[in-house]
Each structure stands twice: as C-alpha cells, then as structure tokens.
C-alpha cells in the first residue's frame, strides 16, 4: 500500500468533518448552515467526491427552496402583505445573497415602507384590522379622498370630482368616495334646477319657475331664498294668496322689511285690501317709503272711496255756494251800507251787556235797511217797551213770517192792537194760540229778548184765564219766555 502524507490525510479528515456537519444541518432543514459548512469543506478539499456529491445535492435543494420562496413572495406582494413578503425575501437573501429577484423586491419593499412613512407623516393612517395597512393603493386612495373633500369644502366641485374619479377607477366600491360623489351629483342637480328656475323667471315662464322651485323647496327646505323667488313668480301670475303664503314664510325666517314690504304692498293691493297695501307701502320704524305717492294716494282713495266721493260732492257744490253767496252779498250791499254795518257792530255790545232799548234809534235804522224778521221783532218789542205802540205794531207785523217767532209776534201784535183799540186783535190772539200749539221751530232766544218780553207781559197782559184766546195765548207765551218756572 502506497503511503499517504500525513498533512494530506489531516486536511481530508477536516474536510470530511465540515461535510458531516453540512449533512447534519441539511438533514435538520438548515440549508444556510449546510451551505456554510459545505463552503468550508470545499475550501479544504474541493475535489473530494463526497463533497462534490453533497454540493450537487445542496444546490438542488437550494434551487427548490428558492423557487418555492419566490412563489410565496410573489403571492404576498400581490396580496399587499408586505411584512410577510419581507420576511421571505430576507430568508431568500440568506440562501442566495446575489439573487436578483430577492434584491429587486427587497428594494421595492423598502420603497413601500418609505412611502407609507410619508403618508403617515401627512396624517394618513390605515387601520391594521382592515388588512391593508401596507397597501400603498389604500394610502393613495385615502390621500385622494382627503384632497377631494378639501376641494369640496372650498367649493371646487370640479376638482373634487376629478379626485373621486381616480379613486373609483381603482376601487369602484369605495364607500366614502361614492357618498361624496352622490352628494356632489345632488348639488349639481339642485343647481341645475336653480338655473332652470332663474332662467324661466327671467324669460317670463312663471309656471315652469314655480314647478322647479317647488322641487327645490321640498329637497332643501333650509334654502329660504327659493321661497322668495317662488313668491315673486306667484305675484307675476297674480296668484296673490300663494304669493303671500311664501312671503310670510320667508319673513318668519328672515324678517327683511326692505325686501318684503314692497311685495306685501303689491299682494294686498291685488287682493283689494287697500289699507294693508297702504300700510306696507311705508316702514314706520325706519321711515322708508317703498311705493310712489300716486300708488299710496290710490290705496287711500280706494279704501275711503265713499268719503272721497262725498268730499268731491261738497267741492262740486262750492261754485254754487259762491254764486248764491255772491248774489246774497249783492242784495245785502244794495240795502245795507257799510256805515249801517259799523253802526250795528257798535250796537252789539250794548244789546248784549245792557239793553236793546239803549240803542233803539240805531236799531230802527238798521232794521229798515235789512228787513230781517228777528231784527224787526227785536225793534218791535223794544218800541213797545218804550211806549211807541204804533211803531211796535208795524215792526212786529214784519216779523210774522218767522216760524220760530210767529206765536210770540202774534201775541205782542195783538196786545199792541188791543192798546190801539183795533177790532182785529182777537184774531191775532187766536193766531198766537194756533201757532203756539203747532210744532215748534227752535230758534235763538237770548236773555235780553226774554227780559223785554217779560216786562211787556207783566205790563200789558191782563187776561190770564183759559176760557178766552187771549188767556190761552198768554199761557203759551208765558211758557216760551220761561217765566212759568
């Protein structure tokens, strides 16, 4: 037997020891440790047949393991299970540090983690229980959703819809996006109705305006401006009752007097409630006037038409009254000079505060000019008092035409004629009785006249029984002059 050098045998034994350890690790399923021991054995004796044989066996096992890991990694990555994919990638790199698939996907996982951190730094969180805590699409969806809500809050519904379209293309069933899209569609629909209502109103299509606004009011009862616009449409159609209903509802929610008072005024005018129309034509609190003077006068005229017509009637009588006054004035001036008027004015204080007898001469002159029954009566009884019975009888006769003086005038005429021994005095007493028993015409009967009448009755009335006309006339005149009390 050929002898083998001792160093070579020592190296061969050491290689076999590493090989044994590699085989044990292989049997235990630790391919990484098996590979490490194999590499040490190959460094000592790469030409050993058993080492080569085990190397081929380990390579096949590694290839199978790597293929299996690759399939699992691809599944986890497709399922967005990044943590488990990362674990398998680390295991694959431990088996094959230069494996291109493992290197590329480990870099991909690193990028995913970095982007997730960026999203989280922006306040975007995904609940772990959702199973999508490492799904970049989920973070991106939430980011787009946040941006969509932000644009919506700013009133930019167009850009908000752009964000929602991106989300729904990825996830057609994403509920928050669907809810916001439905809300935007609803608002757009409402604005379409509003635009349609406003256009119809401006073009005079009031029924179409009312129909569109009725839909809007039912859908958005808090939008009170729709009530105001519908009320205006009713007013244009002269549907005053419905217009007032809408205006009063609007007023209860927004008491804007400057906007509503002119509309109230028009509605009540259309209902022929002219006082209400007049009342709302001006704001008493602010002093503002909302309607023209002509409109307000028309309301006042229509509300008080009977009074205005009566006023017009009296105004129409003014020319007639002026004419007759002018004629009467002409007649008065023809018989009554300015000097006589001044004399009469000066006599008045004497008549009222002393006695007509004190200015009898002036009264006789004035009575002749005027020929007025009550002045003739006053002059007649005054002449009678001073004893001028003939003159008294004449002036008293001139006063018989006055209904309020007739019974007294006949009585004193009869007394005067009795004193003058005229045979007709009995018939005068009879006329005095008949006039006194007739319906009395109330006239002015001042105290200075009553005093003279009382003096005459006391001086000249001798017959006071009720069996003669003179006695009956006395009773009547005595009652009229107020002495019976």
CA distance 374 to 356: 13
Pairwise CA distance, residues 265 & 278, whole Å:
7
- Considering the domain architecture, whether residues 340 and 476 belong to the same structural domain is answered as yes
Contact (Cβ atoms closer than 8 angstroms) between residue 139 and residue 126: yes
Q: In the structure, what pLDDT confidence band is assigned to residue 9 with cuts at 50, 70 and 90?
A: very low
Residue 223 in 3-state DSSP? Answer: coil
Backbone angles phi, psi at 282, to 5 degrees: -145, 140
Is the pLDDT assigned to residue 432 strictly greater than 60? yes
Pair (244, 226) in one structural domain: yes
Residue 3 included in any domain: no
349: in domain: yes
Same domain, 430 and 475: yes
Do 80 and 208 reside in the same domain of the chain?
no
Least confident interval from 156-160, 302-306, 308-312: 156-160
How many angstroms separate the CA atoms of 140 and 126, rounded? Answer: 11
Q: Is 300 a member of any domain? A: no
Mean pLDDT in the chain?
82
Whichever domain contains 225, its CATH number is 1.25.40.10
Nearest partner of 377 among 388, 393, 358, judged by Cα: 393
Task: Output the pTM of the full model.
Answer: 0.41
CATH number for 32: 1.25.40
470 and 356 co-located in one domain: yes
d(CA 241, CA 322): 50
Q: Answer whether 282's CB lies under 8 Å from 296's CB.
A: yes
Q: Region 382-407: what's the mean pLDDT? A: 86
Pair 452, 397 in one domain: yes
Query: Contact 112/133 with Cβ under 8 angstroms?
Result: no
Task: Give yes or no: residues 156 and 80 share one domain.
Answer: no
Own/partner long-range contacts of 438-445 (Cβ < 8 Å, ≥24 apart) = 440/404, 441/403, 441/404, 442/404, 443/374, 443/402, 443/403, 443/404, 443/405, 444/374, 445/404, 445/480
Predicted pLDDT at 277: 92
The token pair at 97 is 């540090």
Residues spanned by the domain of 150: 136-173
Average pLDDT estimate for 207-226: 84
111 and 148 share a domain? no
Q: Kindly state the average pLDDT of the residues 342-369.
A: 82
> Residues 398, 371: contact at Cβ < 8 Å?
yes
Q: Do 239 and 365 have their domain in common?
A: no
Indicate if 122 and 200 belong to the same structural domain: no
Number of Cβ within a 10 Å radius of residue 295:
16
362 and 475 belong to one structural domain = yes
Radius of gyration of the chain from its Cα atoms, rounded to whole angstroms: 65
What's the token pair of residue 21? 């350890």
Q: Is residue 287 part of a domain?
A: no
In a domain, 25, yes or no: yes
Tell me which residue of 364, 377, 366 sits closest to 405, measured CA to CA: 377
What share of the chain in percent tops pLDDT 70? 89
Tell the residue number behind the tokens 């129909």, with chain if given: 211
Which of 255, 284, 299 is the endpoint of a domain? 255
| DSSP calls for 15-66 | HHHHHHHHHHHHHTT-HHHHHHHHHHHHHH-TT-HHHHHHHHHHHHHHHHHH
Establish if 295 belongs to a structural domain. Answer: no
- Is residue 179 assigned to a domain? yes
The verdict on residue 280 lying in a domain is no
CA 286 vs. chain centroid, Å, equals: 16
Asked whether residue 141 falls in the same domain as residue 99, the answer is no
Final residue before a domain boundary, out of 173, 192, 226: 173
Nearest CA to 105 out of 137, 124, 81, 130 is that of 81
What is the per-residue pLDDT across 242-287, written as a single tens digit (0 to 9) for each?
Answer: 999 999 999 999 998 999 999 999 999 999 999 999 999 999 888 8
Percent of the chain beyond pLDDT 90?
15
Last residue of a domain, one of 255, 274, 299: 255
Local confidence band at 485 (pLDDT 50, 70, 90 cut-offs): very low
Structurally, the chain folds into a number of domains equal to 4
């Amino acid at each position: 037997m050929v002898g083998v050098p001792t160093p070579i045998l020592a190296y061969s034994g050491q290689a076999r020891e590493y090989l044994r350890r590699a085989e044990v690790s292989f049997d235990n399923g630790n391919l990484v440790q098996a590979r490490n021991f194999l590499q040490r054995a190959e460094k000592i004796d790469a030409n050993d047949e058993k080492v080569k044989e085990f190397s081929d066996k380990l390579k096949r096992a590694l290839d199978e393991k790597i293929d299996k890991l690759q399939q699992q990694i691809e599944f986890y990555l497709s399922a967005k299970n990044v943590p488990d994919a990362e674990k398998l990638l680390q295991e694959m790199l431990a088996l094959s540090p230069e494996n291109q698939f493992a290197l590329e996907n480990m870099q991909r996982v690193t990028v995913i983690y970095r982007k997730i951190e960026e999203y989280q730094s922006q306040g975007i969180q995904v609940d772990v229980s959702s199973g999508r805590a490492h799904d970049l699409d989920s973070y991106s969806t939430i980011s787009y959703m946040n941006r969509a809500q932000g644009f919506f809050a700013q009133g930019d519904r167009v850009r908000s819809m752009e964000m929602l379209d991106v989300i729904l293309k990825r996830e057609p069933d994403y509920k928050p996006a669907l809810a916001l899209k439905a809300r935007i569609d609803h608002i757009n629909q409402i604005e379409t109705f509003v635009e349609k209502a406003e256009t119809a109103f401006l073009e005079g299509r009031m029924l179409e305006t009312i129909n569109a606004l009725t839909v809007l009011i039912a859908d958005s009862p808090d939008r009170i401006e729709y009530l105001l616009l519908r009320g205006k449409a009713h007013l244009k159609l002269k549907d005053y009752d419905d217009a007032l209903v809408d205006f009063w509802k609007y007023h209860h929610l927004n008491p804007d007097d400057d906007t509503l008072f002119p509309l109230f005024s028009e509605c009540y005018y259309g209902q022929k409630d002219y006082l209400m129309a007049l009342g709302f034509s001006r704001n008493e609190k602010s002093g503002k006037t909302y309607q023209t003077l002509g409109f307000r006068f028309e309301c006042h005229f229509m509300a008080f038409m009977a009074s205005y017509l009566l006023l017009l009637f009296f105004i129409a009588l003014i020319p007639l009254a002026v004419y007759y006054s002018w004629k009467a004035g002409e007649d008065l001036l023809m018989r009554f000079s300015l000097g006589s008027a001044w004399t009469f004015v000066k006599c008045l204080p004497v008549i009222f505060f002393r006695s007509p007898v004190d200015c009898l001469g002036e009264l006789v002159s004035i009575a002749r000019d005027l020929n007025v029954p009550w002045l003739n009566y006053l002059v007649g009884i005054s002449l009678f008092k001073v004893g001028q019975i003939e003159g008294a009888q004449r002036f008293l006769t001139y006063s018989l035409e006055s209904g309020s003086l007739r019974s007294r005038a006949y009585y004193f005429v009869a007394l005067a004629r009795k004193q003058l021994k005229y045979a007709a005095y009995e018939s005068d007493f009879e006329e005095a009785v008949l006039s006194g028993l007739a319906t009395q015409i109330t006239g002015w009967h001042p105290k200075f006249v009553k005093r003279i009448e009382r003096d005459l009755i006391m001086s000249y009335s001798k017959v006071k029984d009720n069996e003669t006309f003179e006695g009956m006339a006395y009773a009547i005149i005595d009652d009229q002059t107020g002495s019976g009390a």
